[in-house]
Structure formats: C-alpha cells, structure tokens
Amino acid sequence: MNPEIERRRTFAIISHPDAGKTTLTEKLLLFGGQIQVAGAVKSNKIKKTATSDWMEIEKQRGISVTTSVMEFDYHDYKVNILDTPGHQDFAEDTFRTLTAVDSCIIVVDGAKGVEAQTRKLMEVCRMRKTPVIIFINKMDREGKDPFDLLDELEEELRIKVRPFSWPINQGQRFKGVYNIYEQRLNLFQADKQRLQERIEVDVDSPQLDEMVGEEDARRLRDDLEMIEGVYPAIDDVAKGADNLYLQADTAPVFFGSALNNFGVQELLDCFVEIAPSPRPTQAEERLVSPEEDKFSGFIFKITANIDPNHRSCIAFCKVCSGRFQRNAPYLHVRQGKTLRFSSPTQFMAQRKSTIDEAWAGDIVGLPDNGTFKIGDTLTEGEKIHFRGLPSFSPELFKYIENADPMKTKQLEKGIAQLMDEGVAQLFVNQFNNRKIIGTVGQLQFEVIQYRLENEYNAKCRWEPLSLHKACWIECEPGHEAEYENFKKRKYQYMALDREGRDVFLADSGYVLTMAQQDFPHIHFHFTSEF
C-alpha cells in the first residue's frame, strides 16, 4: 500500500454543545506543534481565542458555527482534524462533515453524561459504520462515577466500550490519568496553555503511593483489576487488522481534562496508532479504493469569506483516491468541464498555505467563484457520482427583506454565497415573488443577518412566516395533468428552489397529509436528494 496514504488520519471531533470539542482541538494542535500557546473558547484571563473559532460571531458567542479544517504532522503521521459545531442548529454542517472522515472522536462532558445531540451524531456514525473513540472530558470538575459513565455510554449510544485510560479521583482531588493502553501512569501539573513534562510511574511500585497518596493508589489498583475482569481485552479491541474498534463494534474510552491538558496526549498517541487510514468510498457506480492511481474527490463544504480582505469562496474537496496535483486538468462531472487549479490550499483553520499535491484522505481547499455545489465530484475523466450529501427539509421560515435599498447588490451577492455554503435554503414564492429563507434552527437567522452586515455590508430584516414544512415534489410519468392541477390549486404555496425545482410550502401537517391523499401520483420528498 502507498506509504503516503497509509500515514493519513482524517477524523471529526463531534459532541453536544459545551462538552469541550474546540478546547480539545486546541490541545491536539499544541501537541502537533502547530501552535505554541493554546487559546480559550471563553475566558477573561486568556486573551487569545481558540484557533478553530475564527469567525467574528464565534469569538463573541463562544460557540462554533462552522466546521474548521486543520492539519498537522505528529510523529510519522499526517493528521487532518475537522472541528464541527455541536449546536443542533448547525447539525446539517456536521452531518455533511461525517461523510468526509474515516473515524470520529466523541467528546462527552463527565458531569452531564450523554446528551441529546451526542445520541443523534452517534446514529449517523452507526449508519456509516464509522469507528469512534470516546473522550470523557472535564474530569477536573465534580461529576458522575467513571463506572456509571461507562454504563451510560453503552446504554445511550448503543455501543460496547473499553476504557483505555483511567482517572485518579476527580474534581478538586483530580490527580491525573493512568494509561491502560501503554500500562503506565502519567502525572501532569495542570497548565491551560503549555505542555508539561510527564512523570512515569509503575502501578505496583511504592513510588505510586508517595505520589498520589495511599488511598488513591489502592483504589486505582482495585479499579484496574475490575476493568480487566469486566471489559473485553485491549488486544481484541485495538490490535489486528479486523479488530472490534475498526468494525465500529467497540469504542475505546479515554478520561481527562482538555482544559488542563490531562489525558490528551494518551488519546492522541493511541489514536494515530489504531485509527484507520483512508477507507474506500462508495460512489453510485462502484466502490472507489484510496490506492487507485487516478484522482477522484468530492466537495462536502463551501465557505464564503474565509479571508475578509478577499471576497472569495473556498470549496473543500475530500480526496477519495489517487494523488491530487496542482495545475493538472480535472473533470467537473456535473458540468462536464475541465478545470485546473493554480492555488489549491491546505488549512490551519483560517490560515492557509498553497500545496503542490495531496493524497487520498486529505482535504484540499479549492478557490470557487460559483462553479461548485455541495456534492460535486472531480475526477481524471471518469464519470462517477459520490452520494450522501443531502439538504434536509427546513423547519423554520422567514421572508427576507432588504433594509437598505442602496445596498441591493451586496445583499444579493451575500445571500447567494451564504446559500452556496448550505447554511440555509432559499425559496422564491411564485405567488408574490418574495424571497423565503428556510433553516433547520433559529440561530441560523441570527448568523445570516450578522454575516450579511459584517462580511457583505448589507442589512436585512426578517418578516415572520408560519409554515409547517417545505417538500420537493415530482409526479409519476403520465400524470402531468394532475401535477398541473395541483400547482394551480396550491398556487399561493408554490415556490422554486435555487435549482428551479418545484417546492410545495405546506402551512400545516394536516394540509400536507390531505395533499398526499388527494394527489396519489405526486411524490413529496423531505430531502433534496431523490
């Protein structure tokens, strides 16, 4: 196998909001040597903000709004991290990101345990059979008993678990983490911004009693004995080509405190060793293997205004097979055009650097001036399509109105670029030609308004609109008359999406059910892929 592909590790960090994804990402970058001092997501003492939260609105709110892509070298491995938003209003961005990774790290808050959003994201991982590692964070605060947490993980996430590290006490008395995978104890001093030397101790040595106290040492030995008796052997989970972790059957669990750098290095060392290198990707036509000679890849995300000084969009392309080369001709399958890229980039959140080549598993930023849509495929000439990047039917709707008539052009450009990102969907009502924005969550409206004003210098105002759901409609062949009749009867509730497809805006669940009964030959779809 190609050594370049073999050393790639591409993964997403996912969790419920506030479990500590972005803080964990900062610490991984610290170990990777990409940053010298870790920033904080929200802190008054540390004046540097987190690297991956680069948008103005993210710094103010202390939440991630968009997925950030970061890459670094660690030992002999090339690590690509995608830090995703945890907030459910941005779940669509996170679902799409999961199509571009080979494994996941799920972050769980030690005090709160498994929360709603974590369960949803785990469902997506289970559907795609993505291997997961669980990191239980915030052990420096009082929380649940570690054994209770393991039971809760098995029950709520419906996956078997195996501890790979174990905390020594918690809250005020938290002293460090014992690394079961490497069978040694690492004690750290708490430091939020810099790395510390670790002290290595053997579990059975009397030195342990001196360092953590007799009671904690005795309890640690008892716990470890119990773990060995109850959970599957570490070798079954992590060793061998067909182990339980790679089959997405069992999740290794690590404990620690990302804020204080406890337990993060154990996680990273074990992760690069056992996580899968790039795996084959299913296209509509066939299974695409990463070792193929010819390049192929798909666009899973588009970001407008990564650099506020240049109003450019960047399309993120996941390389599925072969080697991507700068200035080589590639086929854009949907448009049938050949394109060349003179400045493909790799990312460190907002900082980017031009690259000459990339291998399967890497994520490449391609400059985009409206040529790409989410889900587009690039190849060396073969016509294949990668699927699995749907837009979901929005649940909240508002009319968008121009609040400053002098800035009409800026507003239109802003809306077009933000809709390309897939943050929300735009529909035009055929009855009165008004623009309607549909989103999955309330917070999206605030983000759109904020970004239009700060990035495009355009002001908008929202007008309320009460709708139940938007559905894409199509009719069975031979029933065109029924379709036209439906469109006439529902004239006020018909709209077009950006592709010019018909969309029915149902104002209540009852109306939708009646329409489905009255017009049996019309199909109503709730995702844009059909």
**pLDDT tens digits along 475-510:** 888 888 989 999 888 888 899 988 888 889 888 889
> What proportion of the chain, given as a percentage, has pLDDT over 70?
83
C-alpha atoms less than 13 angstroms from C-alpha of 472 in its C-beta half-sphere: 18
| Tokens representing residue 5 in the block | 């592909």
Which of 140, 189, 161 shows the shortest CA–CA distance to 250?
A: 161
Is the pLDDT reported for residue 192 higher than 80? Answer: no
The helix (H) or strand (E) run that includes residue 522 is: strand 522-525
Buried b (16+ CB within 10 A) or exposed e, 466-485: ebebbbbbebeeeeeebbee
What one-character-per-residue DSSP string does 391-449 give?
A: PBPPSEEEEEEES-GGGHHHHHHHHHHHHHTTSSEEEEETTT--EEEEESSTHHHHHHH
Which of 255, 271, 272 shows the shortest CA–CA distance to 263?
A: 255
Quick one: 185 and 260 in the same domain? yes
Taking the C-alpha atoms of residue 52 and residue 497, their distance in angstroms, rounded to an integer, is 32
Name the least confident of 95-99, 139-143, 432-436: 95-99
For residue 415, tell me if it sits in a domain. yes
Quick one: 10 and 27 in the same domain? yes
Do residues 80 and 8 touch, judged by C-beta distance below 8 A? yes
Which amino acid, one-letter code, is at 400? I
Domain that holds residue 517: 396-525
- Which residue among 239, 257, 274 closes a domain? 274
Which of 27, 71, 18 shows the shortest CA–CA distance to 50?
A: 27
Is the pLDDT reported for residue 13 higher than 70? Answer: yes
- Which residue among 344, 379, 414 closes a domain? 379
**pLDDT tens digits along 408-424:** 898 988 888 888 777 78
**pLDDT tens digits along 111-134:** 888 887 788 778 878 877 888 999
For residue 384, tell me if it sits in a domain. no
| Tokens representing residue 372 in the block | 């790409």
Buried b (16+ CB within 10 A) or exposed e, 197-220: ebeebeeeeeebeebbeeebbeeb
For residue 448, tell me if it sits in a domain. yes
> What proportion of the chain, given as a percentage, has pLDDT over 90?
3
- What CATH number should be reported for the domain holding residue 57? 3.40.50.300
* pLDDT classification of 56: cutoffs 50, 70, 90: low
The residue-averaged pLDDT of 50-59 equals 51
Quick one: 161 and 259 in the same domain? yes
**Mean residue pLDDT across the chain:** 80
Quick one: 223 and 106 in the same domain? yes
Quick one: 290 and 269 in the same domain? no
* pLDDT classification of 46: cutoffs 50, 70, 90: very low
- Which residue among 323, 352, 379 closes a domain? 379
The residue-averaged pLDDT of 82-101 equals 68
Is the pLDDT reported for residue 54 higher than 50? Answer: no
- What CATH number should be reported for the domain holding residue 402? 3.30.70.3280
Name the least confident of 19-23, 148-152, 183-187: 183-187
Is the pLDDT reported for residue 135 higher than 60? Answer: yes
pTM of the model: 0.76
Residue 499 confidence (pLDDT): 81
Residue 199 confidence (pLDDT): 66
Which amino acid, one-letter code, is at 325? Q
Quick one: 164 and 71 in the same domain? yes
Quick one: 501 and 423 in the same domain? yes
Q: Identify the residue whose tokens are 């399967």.
A: 360
Quick one: 100 and 196 in the same domain? yes
**pLDDT tens digits along 266-294:** 888 888 888 888 888 888 888 888 888 88
For residue 419, tell me if it sits in a domain. yes
Number of domains in the chain: 3
Taking the C-alpha atoms of residue 278 and residue 281, their distance in angstroms, rounded to an integer, is 9
Quick one: 19 and 90 in the same domain? yes
For residue 484, tell me if it sits in a domain. yes
For residue 386, tell me if it sits in a domain. no
Quick one: 324 and 424 in the same domain? no
**pLDDT tens digits along 303-351:** 776 665 556 678 888 888 888 888 889 988 888 889 888 888 876 644 6
Residue 92 confidence (pLDDT): 65
Which of 180, 185, 179, 183 shows the shortest CA–CA distance to 207?
A: 185
Is the pLDDT reported for residue 386 higher than 60? Answer: yes
* pLDDT classification of 436: cutoffs 50, 70, 90: very high
Residue 43 confidence (pLDDT): 43
The residue-averaged pLDDT of 82-93 equals 62
The residue-averaged pLDDT of 254-261 equals 84
For residue 389, tell me if it sits in a domain. no
For residue 110, tell me if it sits in a domain. yes
Quick one: 417 and 504 in the same domain? yes
* pLDDT classification of 164: cutoffs 50, 70, 90: confident
Quick one: 34 and 167 in the same domain? yes
